[in-house]
Amino acid sequence: MPRSTTKDAPTDTAESVRAETMKSASEGAPKLDVASLLGDIRTEEVRDTQPMMTPPSEPAVEVQAEGITAWHNGKKITAMWANSASRNSYAAVAGLGWRKLSNANDSTYLSMVMMASHAEQTNSTVNLEISASNEITQIYVW
């Protein structure tokens, strides 16, 4: 393309940028190197952990019996805890301590989290089935 000599004419650099843009426009959207924009991003590993703190004014905790599935009636959920690990939430049950909510599948997990959170927020009484692995597998909110 011949260079224009008028005062308002674009510079050679502007012309070359425009030419490159027109060229890439005919080939589709311009390419963007995301890796170079983000640089060196470090991600920390998220572990499937459990809560370390005790909820405020938590009474003594019943002895945890391993290997026994049992119903616990008339309990209160006093706190909820979760981290960024997939399907990893716990409910603090009065007299029982922290218990993991079942993560058998996504719909079960979401239902459990919603019901336990509702019970904690409204101070509702709950009946819980706690499995041999100390997970809440069923919940009634009254």
Mean pLDDT by 10 residues, the chain (142 residues): 58 61 58 63 60 62 64 95 93 95 93 96 96 93 92
Question: Can you name the residues that pair with 135 across neighbouring β-strands?
Answer: 100
Number of domains in the chain: 1
Question: Can you name the residues that pair with 100 across neighbouring β-strands?
Answer: 90, 135
| Closest to 133 measured CA to CA, from 108, 112, 90, 102 | 102
- Domain containing 103: what range? 70-141
In a domain, 111, yes or no: yes
- Assign residue 135 the CATH number of its domain: 2.40.50.50
pLDDT for the residue numbered 111: 94
pTM over 0.95? The answer is no
In a domain, 55, yes or no: no
Please give the Cα distance from 50 to 81 (Å, whole number). Answer: 8
pLDDT for the residue numbered 49: 75
Cβ atoms of 92 and 81 within 8 Å: the answer is yes
